[in-house]
């Protein structure tokens, strides 16, 4: 099978399988949970009762498609297993009668992140390329593993917190992956396996967005957002551009990441220190509650900002590359 055919088949099978599963939602009535709404989240009441946790379907498709069409070796297959494990963890929370505590989920994030970091360093190395300059160097494996755990945990939680507006998290993830493809192509780190992994995620999410566009019919839940965040971190590492997440993933960090930071600082200081007092977080809630933006407008504004950041990043990488 040619490389081009593998890429095309990964895209088509990812899209078609996800679309079919989400259209019919097999065993949905007994398998899926239903959204309970979220405390302090502006407009979350409109989602109450919608099927949630459908991310378990597209995470399964993503895992199978990537395993079938990529030739990444043991390291990649282990990460794929952990990706689906992250989805299962989120899924169990989605359908739980009582939401899991943040500490419990945080501990699980760290455990899976540590396992993923060890597997990555052991089988895929610790080589890093700076996206803007193209400088390549080897990071000490222990330091790389520590930084990898941080990236996994941050990406998981930032993506999860961003998933509060119809179509937002999925669209931002697709934009991030498209930018990663362009940047890694410019820097010469893009491989066929890397492209298969990226394309699979793009088309799986594209199929999901058909059902999640405003007004959404279903929600990915933690089963989707946590798996997508985990897989995004892996892609940046696999294509040797982990530090690019600080720029390309900036929309996730500013929207969802600030919420996590605000909550964490508040809890660690017993609410003696509250940052961003005048800003509702996640930021998409600030746009809706304080500025009166509609859901489509909120998604459009954040995605437009993300697109501008991505274009500037790719342009800078291209200019430096040519020089």
CA distance 156 to 64: 21
Q: What pLDDT, on a 0 to 100 scale, did the predictor assign at position 47? A: 62
Q: What pLDDT, on a 0 to 100 scale, did the predictor assign at position 209? A: 98
Q: Where are the alpha helices (DSSP H) in the chain?
A: 3-24, 28-31, 55-69, 73-94, 102-124, 141-162, 168-187, 192-212, 221-238, 245-248, 250-252, 258-268, 283-289, 295-322
HSE-up (13 A, CA, CB side) for residue 318: 10
3-state DSSP of 151-179: HHHHHHHHHHHHCCCCCHHHHHHHHHHHH
What the block records as the tokens of 155 is 């990406």
> DSSP secondary structure string, 265-320?
HHHHTTTS--SSTTS-SSHHHHHHHTS---HHHHHHHHHHHHHHHHHHHHHHHHHH
CA distance 179 to 172: 11
* Cβ–Cβ under 8 Å, residues 116 and 229: no
* pTM for the whole structure: 0.93
What the block records as the tokens of 122 is 């052991």
* Cβ–Cβ under 8 Å, residues 115 and 82: yes
Q: What pLDDT, on a 0 to 100 scale, did the predictor assign at position 308? A: 97
Q: Which segments in the chain show pLDDT lower than 70?
A: 35-49, 264, 266-268, 270-273, 275-276, 321-323
Q: What pLDDT, on a 0 to 100 scale, did the predictor assign at position 323? A: 44
Q: What SS3 state is found at 7?
A: helix
CA distance 307 to 311: 6
Q: Would you kindly state where each structural domain of the chain is located, as residue ranges?
A: 3-322
Residue with tokens 């800003």, as numbered in its chain: 279
What is the phi/psi pair of residue 67, to 5°? -65, -35
CA distance 211 to 166: 9
Q: What pLDDT, on a 0 to 100 scale, did the predictor assign at position 321? A: 61
């Amino acid at each position: 099978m040619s490389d081009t055919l593998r890429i095309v088949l990964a895209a088509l099978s990812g899209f078609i399988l996800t679309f079919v599963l989400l259209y019919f939602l097999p065993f949905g009535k007994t398998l899926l949970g239903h959204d309970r709404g979220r405390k302090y989240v502006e407009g979350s009441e409109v989602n109450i009762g919608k099927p949630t946790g459908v991310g378990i379907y597209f995470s399964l498709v993503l895992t199978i498609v990537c395993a079938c069409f990529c030739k990444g070796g043991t390291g990649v297959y282990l990460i794929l297993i952990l990706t689906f494990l992250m989805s299962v963890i989120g899924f169990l929370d989605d359908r739980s009668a009582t939401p899991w505590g943040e500490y419990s989920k945080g501990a699980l994030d760290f455990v899976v992140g540590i396992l993923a970091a060890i597997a990555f360093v052991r089988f895929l190395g610790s080589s890093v390329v700076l996206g803007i300059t193209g400088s390549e160097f080897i990071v000490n494996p222990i330091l790389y593993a520590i930084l990898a755990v941080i990236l996994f945990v941050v990406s998981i939680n930032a993506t999860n917190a961003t998933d509060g507006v119809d179509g937002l998290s999925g669209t931002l993830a697709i934009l991030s992956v498209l930018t990663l493809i362009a940047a890694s192509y410019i820097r010469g780190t893009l491989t066929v396996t890397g492209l298969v992994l990226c394309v699979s995620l793009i088309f799986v999410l594209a199929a999901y967005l058909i059902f999640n566009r405003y007004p959404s019919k279903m929600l990915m839940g933690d089963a989707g957002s946590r798996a997508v965040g985990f897989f995004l971190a892996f892609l940046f590492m696999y294509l040797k551009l982990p530090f690019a997440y600080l720029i390309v993933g900036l929309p996730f960090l500013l929207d969802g990441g600030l919420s996590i930071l605000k909550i964490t600082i508040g809890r660690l200081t017993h609410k003696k220190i509250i940052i961003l007092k005048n800003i509702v977080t996640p930021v998409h809630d600030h746009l809706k509650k304080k500025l009166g933006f509609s859901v489509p407008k909120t998604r459009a504004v954040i995605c437009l900002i993300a697109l501008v950041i991505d274009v500037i990043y790719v342009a800078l990488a291209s200019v430096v590359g040519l020089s």
